[in-house]
Structure 1
């Protein structure tokens, strides 16, 4: 991976925020300590000048960031608790917690799901995706919680990957989104590609894009939010987050495509991979898994219920 050069501009609502806190939200899937190291090493310039992590931002500032080419690191098993929903000799299904990155990348060489899997599974992970992503068939974002299946051998990995391409792995999410969706259900068919100016974002675009289709159904409406169930027909990076923002209903708390939740600190987007269905890659048996809604999701629902009932 080559070094990246990024540019951001501060808005009125950013005034008074610490640079390191603000930039951690802007840079998806990196830790605050990584951002602080970038600032310390003068890879972050505010209006052309190097500043400290605690620098307070003002409206209209230009923040340029250089993310150096990562130094290859040896992956180490780490004793990190995993919520194992199912496991056999071929696959392991994990209910990933919020704040956990799936696989190592720049700024996150440890503390990832892969580090935890190496500790839990030992050598029993497929190596098709190389040493950085052993067993990883599909991923979910750092601040998205919920279910994903991991392959424990190459035969299972190849079969699962083929099923993914054929849309035979059914992934259903639940989310709270901003605004009130009037339709009971809908289909978003809009191609997704890399954002033309912000390389960390994806966008609905017809340039160098891939087909992306998301189905949604309203679960419950609130005065200013909607609880929705979403089914992926395709699996593009940030697909649900991009599509919901595209139709004017960004996922609540999404720092990249929406805005912070005003009711509580959600720690990022309120998006949970709740259901996972597929045929077992070896036995052919139908598998159905459900991950209960996590605490951050139910707390927001309780708040919304309370406000809508006048409590």
Structure 2
């Protein structure tokens, strides 16, 4: 098992196969670890994609990313195994047909116990890359939330993004007054890693069949943070 602090630039075949949650003829779903980028950025560096050559399973090309997760977010990451699969997945993500549920530990107590955040988002400024802010003139962004547990000034939430804006969950939570624990951009940061995990994904990929539902186990660093905050993770 690869630790949060020691995620290598290239995972071995055994290590990345241990993170394979689902596989069929069109897609793969991986359990992405926190602390590593999904792909190589302009400046290079460690990235999860560098290990995808271990996941061909007989096909001539590597699988490719169908969407993105932030460097410090863990959990369900969907890959397309070939071009046609990627086209289909890309359209489904764009049309909002793929349902995603995240777990987050936030600072503060959301009230009521569930609701909808409907705040448009835009880029903070040109010098900050893809940092975002609430912007009345920005793109529409909606997130549903539900409280699982509260304790010691923190809450455990299920977050369902209805749109797919950059940093959407992080900005929305911060804007409501309960930033995600460990968020160095929109929260207080600190020594605690970002407590955001892509727990579940539901993909209605095949006509006349039930949607593919995949869940990623809650990582050790999030269980430790939950325990420190007095929150129980019973899954």
TM-score surpassing 0.5? yes
State how far apart, in whole Å, the 2-side matches of 1:148 and 1:283 are.
Answer: 24
1:297 corresponds to 2:222:
yes
Partner SS for 2:65: coil
Partner SS for 1:305: coil
1:231 corresponds in structure 2 to 160
| Structure 1: gaps (5+ residues) | 1-75, 127-134, 307-311
1:186 corresponds in structure 2 to 115
State how far apart, in whole Å, the 2-side matches of 1:78 and 1:294 are.
Answer: 18
Partner SS for 1:89: coil
Cα deviation 1:93-112 (Å, max 9, x = unaligned)? 00100111011112334x31
Cα deviation 1:56-103 (Å, max 9, x = unaligned)? xxxxxxxxxxxxxxxxxxxx9763632110112211100100111011
One of 73, 78, 84 as aligned partner of 2:20: 84
| Higher RCO structure (Cα 8 Å, ≥6 apart) | 2
1:203 corresponds to 2:133:
yes
Distance 1:95 1:300, change over 3 A: same
1:271 corresponds to 2:196:
yes
Instruction: State the shift of 1:304 in Å.
Output: 1.8
In 2, are the aligned partners of 1:90 and 1:152 still within 8 Å (CA)?
A: yes
Superposed counterparts of 1:240-259, under 5 Å: 240-259=169-188
1:117 corresponds in structure 2 to 52
| Structure 2: gaps (5+ residues) | 1-8
Which structure has the larger Rg over C-alpha atoms? 1
**TM-score, scaled relative to structure 1:** 0.65
In 1, are the aligned partners of 2:10 and 2:47 still within 8 Å (CA)?
A: no
1:105 corresponds in structure 2 to 41
Provide the aligned length of Structure 1 versus Structure 2: 217
Cα deviation 1:231-268 (Å, max 9, x = unaligned)? 0100111110010011111100000110135xxx323x
Superposed counterparts of 1:42-61, under 5 Å: none
**CA-based RMSD:** 2.1
Instruction: State the shift of 1:197 in Å.
Output: 6.2
